[in-house]
Structure 1
Amino acid sequence: MSLAVIDRNDVVLRGRLSAPPELRPLPSGDTLLVVKLVVRREKPRPGGPKSDVFTCVSTLRSLHRHASAWAPDDVLEVEGSLQRRFWRTPTGTAVAYEVSCRRARRIAKAGQRTAPRSA
């Protein structure tokens, strides 16, 4: 049985952009787009968090161009895969989970109403 049948890593998120998109130069010479997406939880526990913040990244130049028009509180939809990244810090190894985006689009500009969620 092939891995394509066994494994699947697809992520689709829709949420609010919490800060302006950031372009970070990498040591490799590539540029990394970093966006933080706030996604409300469908059924939060009483007294618990009502939303989660996901870091979404991409090296795709086409997304870099689109992101230049995005602003905080815009509603975005991103598609990609979940990845775990490790790096060294002065105090040891750090780890983060990120959505590696292959597509992203703005659903609504900040302040615009979006269509109600279906049940």
Structure 2
Amino acid sequence: MDRNEVVLVGRLSAAVEEHPLPSGDTVTKWRIIVRRRRHRRGAALTDSIPCVTFNPETAAIVRKLKPRDYIEVTGAFRCRVFGPSAAKIWRYEVEVSTASPVEADVPKPEEAPAETLTALIPRQVPYLAPAG
């Protein structure tokens, strides 16, 4: 049995964009930043996942959020193909059916263990010079 179900919980990366379509519908686009599990060197990596919706109710919920607000979305993974036959462009995105804001569980400094707080503080990435 085939299933195409996606559930994402992450942060809104930037302001939501809306694009009217020739059909009169509006497509609403945004990106969600989702952290990966810790990398072997201790760095937390993230993925920026493109999301779209054609549903006006879902779009209204997402429009109310600000960048860096937490959000949970459910939907389906889609591959869309654009452009002329000689120069096709493939895009992958999540077509969202439902969205809801999520309260972030960020500990207060006096309540959190030190290792939790250090994970929340961004670290500077050292510049990599060419070898040789």
TM-score, structure 1 normalization: 0.79
Percent identity over the alignment?
A: 36
Q: Which runs of 5+ in 2 are unaligned?
A: 108-132
Number of positions where the alignment pairs a residue of Structure 1 with one of Structure 2: 106
Residue 57 of structure 2 is aligned to residue 62 of structure 1: yes
The CA RMSD over aligned residues, in Å, is 2.2
Structure 1 stretch displaced more, 76-85 or 18-27:
18-27
Larger-Rg structure: 2
Q: Which runs of 5+ in 1 are unaligned?
A: 1-5
**Is contact 2:38–2:44 with CA below 8 Å preserved after alignment?**
no
Moved over 3 A (4+): 45-49
Residue 35 of structure 2 is aligned to residue 44 of structure 1: no
For 1:38, give the aligned amino acid.
Answer: I
2:105 match? 114
Bigger strand fraction = 1
Partner Cα distance (2:40, 2:12) in 1: 23
The structure, 1 or 2, with the larger RCO (C-alpha pairs under 8 Å, 6+ apart) is: 1
Partner Cα distance (1:62, 1:72) in 2: 19
Structure 1 stretch displaced more, 10-19 or 62-71:
62-71
TM-score, structure 2 normalization: 0.72
Residue 15 of structure 2 is aligned to residue 15 of structure 1: no
